[in-house]
């Protein structure tokens, strides 16, 4: 257990060492938060209520999503796992006396915490100060939000982990990861809130695992999640278990493959 | 050592030569290339889908209909995709400088800018072209515009000047790398952010920001200003009419600025490492 | 005037200075008023401890850095201002970095260089044939550069620097990391090159054997200033070369040898 906590701490420290890079990233997030906010404002000005959201909800969503991108790894540019598999360095990791999946989860969690510290607050703060962002005051809401975020994080890790493992078979992580990034950008609600996507498409999108990464936590925070916190909790837990479980299975298959091939 | 031809290899010729070499290197990884090209295509569709979703709820945004917004989107996206194909090699400049590989650029008898622009050229960038071409095609078909020769010329000119403006922006962001390696990401947010912002009618950003995007960071000339003319729209900011045709001088000005900035950066280059 | 233009040095530096300004600390003078005259056809060893200013000097000579002050002319050009024109007259070999294209066969790098430097096809073919034979490139001409061993890559880099018949070649630690056989091969090749074609060679190295075998003239630099500039024979003055160089690096004054 201590090994994993150490991994989290070291990974966090490493992320925080590249502070100036994170600051630059926070700037980008803020810029895009503004752009998305203006777009949604233009829409909501025409139609003041859409899918139970008002203008303030939409603007809050715009900045919160930008703040959550990096912890949730939507752009997947911080994983070493894929490249290590491709170069074969992974052999060293496979023989460590730690649980493979938990090890990578710990490393990624450290990164996510660092990103949460440095990149989540700036865009949201900017939105609060200069835009009609409205955050709830109830501590219970925030606690629920935190839980949903954690589940969303586990799901996003689960997805990225599976995609990285696929490198064992495809021997190239760039192709898979770029498709995943494109999917993730849309299905997590980064480009446009999933709740306003009409018809069957919208319904389907609300049930993919990506929906739990950002859309659901924010819905819970805003109080607009249909089925409330209970539904989000169940949904998130289910997908997290499924994805992490699939990850464990796939790890065993991969390990077996590596051993059989002679490493 | 008498050379038959004393002039150094022309910049654009060197650029094309290097692009061919990089394409050959990239084509060694066929599957990866196909997948990433597909991913690029999907990514460009996302903004389009966002616009379509928005318009399922309303008929106009900031006074612009769907075909009109798609025209804005198509022109700026196409200009940007073209500039991305040609100039996004500049994104690698920060890494090049950090690893000391920019020195290698400077010892070659060809334009340093040509080498940097061509760096890591990959065919996957072409994946970004299809969506804007199709969208623009549809928008042109659906727009109730009375086409004249002048409007047609301005339409074509919009994409060309937009291309030049974006290329100049790429070069300027590259110049920022010479100053501070991390600053490149900040500069990138201006390039990508400009593209994202100009997909929509500029008046959604309000008057102060809209004016800033016209006179400070002149991205309004990528598509907004000339499109006001093509679409026959009045200017929500009430700016003088001649600005609708100011894209060419704006592009020339920014390109000139970029060229000067690049030259100055080379002159003051510090070259880290031994 | 006619006499001096015949003996016009191919590298001419007078009072060459480079100062780096820094936001955090005092300005740092890496090269402090160096005078250097290298005649065409010389093979000069440029030595000094790390941080002495060797790399900075070379970077100014090749046009990578602009001098803070002083006069500098290489092959008749002002390096930084006429960088592109000068580039065709010089070749550079970095011991620790390759100038070749990583993912492509060695031969493709050469073909690309032919186009970049506008080498006439007949000249290129003749040079390539010669270097293929002299450096034994045949076995790995078609191999991607990333698969080459260090020795093979170095031979490729040397060829790449010479294909366009430069007037001056700079070699920055060319034998570093090579095995004894490869080191010998490189040294013999360079010596032969200088003798056969009269190409001016400026060699930066820490390897005593390199200096011994190749350099008739040695220029030593420390803290940005020239501490010795003369013949190898005068430098060692019948002593062991390694001892002499070590003393030089440590900054102790040289035993007698006056000018």
* CA–CA distance, C103 with A250 (Å, rounded to integer): 32
Instruction: Tell whether A30 is covered by a domain.
Output: yes
C178: left (phi over 0), alpha (psi -120 to 50) or beta: beta
Positive or negative: CA dihedral C112, C113, C117, C118 = negative
Range of the domain at A65: 2-257
Split into its structural domains, chain A has a count of 1
With beta carbons under 8 A apart, name residues in chain B contacting A192.
49-50, 53-54
Which candidate, B111, B110, B121, places its Cα nearest to that of B87?
A: B121
DSSP A200-253: HHHHHHTTSGGGGTTHHHHHHHHT--TTHHHHHHHHHHHHHHHHHHHHHHHHHH
pLDDT digits (tens, 9 = 90+) for B88-113: 899 999 889 988 889 999 999 999 99
Tokens of A132: 């009609």
Distances (CA, A) of A166 to A169, A174, A249: 6, 11, 12
Measured in degrees and rounded to the nearest 5, phi and psi for residue A157 equal -65, -45
Strand duo C11-20 + C28-38: pairing: antiparallel
Q: Could you tell me which of A14, A36, A233 has the C-alpha nearest to residue A131?
A: A36
- Among C134, C96, C133, C131, which Cα is nearest to C113's? C131
CB proximity under 8 Å: C 41-100 to B: 50-51, 55, 59, 62-66, 80, 83-85, 87-90, 92, 94, 97, 99
Q: Are strands C43-47 and C217-222 parallel, antiparallel or unpaired?
A: parallel
Mean pLDDT, to the nearest integer, of C94-98?
Answer: 85
Tell me whether residues B54 and A39 touch, CB distance under 8 A: yes
Place of tokens 């074609």: C197
Whole-angstrom Cα distance, residue B101 to residue C98? 9
Confidence of residue A173 (pLDDT cuts 50, 70, 90): low
pLDDT at B58 over 90: yes
**Predicted confidence (pLDDT) per residue in A191-205, tens digit:** 999 999 999 999 999
Q: Is residue A195 part of a domain?
A: yes
Q: What does the mean pLDDT of chain A come to?
A: 88
Interface mutation vs chain B, best among C57, C97, C165, C197, most B CBs within 10 Å: C97
User: Rounded to whole angstroms, how far apart are CA atoms A154 and A148?
Assistant: 10
Residue A135 CA, distance from chain mean position: 20
List pLDDT tens digits, range B134-152: 999 999 999 998 889 999 9
Cβ distance B8 to C85 under 8 Å? yes
Q: Does B146 touch chain A (CB under 8 A)?
A: no
Q: Which residue has the tokens 């004054």?
A: C253
**A263 occurs within a structural domain:** no
User: What is the CA A258 to chain-centroid distance, rounded?
Assistant: 29
Higher-scoring residue by pLDDT: A118, B3: A118
Taken in order C47, C53, C59, C62, the sign of the CA dihedral is negative
From the list A20, A28, A47, the residue facing B189 with the nearest CB is A28
Q: Calculate ∠ Cα A184-A187-A192, nearest 5°.
A: 115
DSSP letter for each residue of chain C: -HHHHHT--SEEEEEEEEEE--SSS--EEEEEEEEEEE-TT-EEEEE--TTSSHHHHHHHHTTSS--SEEEEEETTB-TTTTHHHHHTTEEEEESSS--S-TTSBHHHHHHHHHHHHT--HHHHHHHHHHHHHHTT-GGGTTSBGGGS-HHHHHHHHHHHHHTT--SEEEEESTTTT--HHHHHHHHHHHHHHHHHH--EEEEE---HHHHHHH-SEEEEEETTEEEEEEEHHHHHTTS-HHHHHHHHHHTPPPPS---
pLDDT band at C194 (very low <50, low <70, confident <90, very high): very high
Please name the member of B49, B185, B201 whose beta carbon is closest to the beta carbon of A28.
Answer: B185
Counting CB pairs under 8 A, whether chains C and A reach 3 or more, is no
Q: Which residue of B lies nearest to C54 if distances are taken between CA atoms?
A: B274
Q: What confidence tens digit (pLDDT) does each residue in C236-251 have?
A: 777 788 888 887 787 7
Residue range A6-41, pLDDT digits in tens: 999 999 999 899 888 889 999 999 999 999 999 999
The full length of chain B comes to: 274
Q: What is the pLDDT of residue A3?
A: 87
Q: Is residue A233 part of a domain?
A: yes
pLDDT confidence of residue A98: 83
Residue A227: pLDDT band by 50, 70, 90 thresholds?
confident
This prediction's pTM:
0.89
Task: Give the C-alpha separation, A233 to B61, whole Å.
Answer: 36
Residue A107 in any domain: the answer is yes
Do B271 and C101 count as a contact with CB atoms less than 8 A apart?
A: no
**List of chain C residues whose C-beta atoms are within 8 Å of the C-beta of residue B269:** 64-66
Give domain status of residue A262, yes or no.
no
The minimum CA-CA distance between B185 and chain A, rounded to whole Å, is 6
Q: Which helix (H) or strand (E) holds B260?
A: helix B247-267
- What is B61-73 written as a DSSP string? BTTB-HHHHHHHH
In percent, the amount of chain B with pLDDT more than 70 equals: 97
């Amino acid at each position: 257990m201590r090994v994993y906590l150490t991994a989290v701490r070291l990974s966090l420290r490493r992320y925080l060492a590249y502070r100036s890079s994170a600051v630059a990233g926070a700037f980008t997030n803020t810029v895009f938060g503004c752009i998305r906010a203006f777009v949604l404002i233009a829409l909501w000005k025409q139609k003041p209520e859409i899918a139970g959201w008002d203008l303030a909800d939409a603007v809050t969503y715009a900045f919160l999503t930008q703040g959550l991108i990096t912890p949730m790894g939507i752009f997947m540019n911080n994983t070493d796992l894929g490249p290590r598999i491709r170069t074969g360095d992974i052999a060293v990791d496979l023989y460590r006396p730690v649980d493979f999946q938990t090890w990578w989860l710990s490393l990624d969690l450290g990164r996510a915490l660092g990103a949460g510290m440095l990149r989540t607050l700036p865009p949201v703060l900017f939105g609060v100060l200069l835009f009609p962002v409205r955050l709830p005051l109830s501590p219970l809401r925030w606690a629920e939000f935190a839980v949903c975020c954690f589940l969303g994080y586990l799901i996003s890790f689960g997805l990225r982990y599976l995609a990285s493992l696929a490198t064992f078979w495809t021997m190239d992580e760039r192709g898979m990861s770029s498709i995943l990034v494109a999917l993730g950008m849309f299905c997590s609600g980064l480009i446009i809130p999933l709740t306003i996507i009409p018809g069957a498409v919208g319904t389907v999108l609300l049930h993919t695992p990506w929906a739990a990464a950002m859309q659901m936590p924010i819905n819970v925070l805003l109080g607009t999640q249909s089925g409330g916190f209970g539904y989000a909790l169940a949904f998130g837990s289910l997908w997290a278990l499924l994805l992490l479980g699939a990850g464990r299975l796939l790890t065993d298959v991969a390990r077996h493959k590596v051993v059989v091939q002679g490493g | 050592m008498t050379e038959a031809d004393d002039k150094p290899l022309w910049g654009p010729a060197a650029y094309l030569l290097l692009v061919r070499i990089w394409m050959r290197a990239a084509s060694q990884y066929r599957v990866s290339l196909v997948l990433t090209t597909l991913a690029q295509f999907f990514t460009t569709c996302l903004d389009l889908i966002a616009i379509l979703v928005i318009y399922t709820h309303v008929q106009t945004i900031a006074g612009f209909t769907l075909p009109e917004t798609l025209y804005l989107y198509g022109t700026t996206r196409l200009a940007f995709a073209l500039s991305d194909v040609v100039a996004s090699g500049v994104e690698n400049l920060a890494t090049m400088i950090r690893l000391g590989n920019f020195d290698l650029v400077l010892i070659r008898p060809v334009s340093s800018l040509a080498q940097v622009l061509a760096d890591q050229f990959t065919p996957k960038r072409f994946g970004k072209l299809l969506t804007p071409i199709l969208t623009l095609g549809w928008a042109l078909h659906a727009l109730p515009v009375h086409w004249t020769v002048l409007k047609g010329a301005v339409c074509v000119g919009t994409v060309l000047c937009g291309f030049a403006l974006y290329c100049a922006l790429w070069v300027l962001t590259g110049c920022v790398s010479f100053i501070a390696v991390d600053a490149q990401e900040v500069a990138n947010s201006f390039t990508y952010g400009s593209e994202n912002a100009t997909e929509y009618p500029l008046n959604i950003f309000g008057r102060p920001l809209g004016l800033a995007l016209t006179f400070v960071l002149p991205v309004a000339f990528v598509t907004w200003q000339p499109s006001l003319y093509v679409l026959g729209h009045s200017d929500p900011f009430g700016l003088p009419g001649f600005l609708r045709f100011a894209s060419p001088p704006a592009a020339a000005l920014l390109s000139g600025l970029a060229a000067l900035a690049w030259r100055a950066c080379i002159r003051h280059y510090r070259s880290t490492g031994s | 005037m006619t006499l001096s233009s015949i003996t016009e040095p191919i590298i001419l530096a007078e009072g060459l200075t480079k100062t780096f300004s820094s936001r955090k600390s005092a300005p740092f003078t890496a090269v402090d008023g160096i005078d250097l005259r290298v005649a065409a056809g010389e093979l000069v060893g440029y030595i000094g401890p790390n941080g002495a200013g060797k790399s900075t000097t070379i970077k100014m000579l090749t046009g990578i850095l602009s001098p803070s002050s002083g006069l500098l002319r290489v092959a008749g050009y002002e390096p930084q201002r006429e960088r592109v024109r000068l580039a065709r007259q010089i070749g550079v070999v970095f011991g620790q970095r390759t100038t070749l294209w990583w993912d492509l066969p060695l031969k493709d790098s050469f073909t690309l260089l032919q186009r970049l430097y506008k080498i006439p096809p007949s000249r290129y073919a003749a040079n390539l044939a010669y270097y293929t034979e002299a450096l034994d490139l045949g076995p790995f001409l078609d191999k991607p550069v990333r698969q080459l061993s260090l020795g093979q890559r170095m031979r490729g880099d040397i060829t790449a620097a010479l294909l366009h018949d430069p007037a001056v070649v700079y070699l920055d630690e060319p034998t570093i990391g090579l095995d004894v056989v490869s080191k010998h091969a490189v040294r013999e090749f360079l010596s032969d090159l200088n003798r056969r074609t009269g190409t001016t060679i400026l060699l930066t190295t820490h390897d005593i054997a390199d200096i011994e075998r190749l350099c008739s003239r040695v220029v030593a630099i420390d803290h940005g200033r020239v501490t010795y500039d003369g013949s190898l024979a005068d430098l060692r003055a019948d002593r062991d070369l390694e001892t002499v160089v070590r003393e030089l690096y440590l900054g102790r004054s040289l035993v007698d040898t006056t000018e």
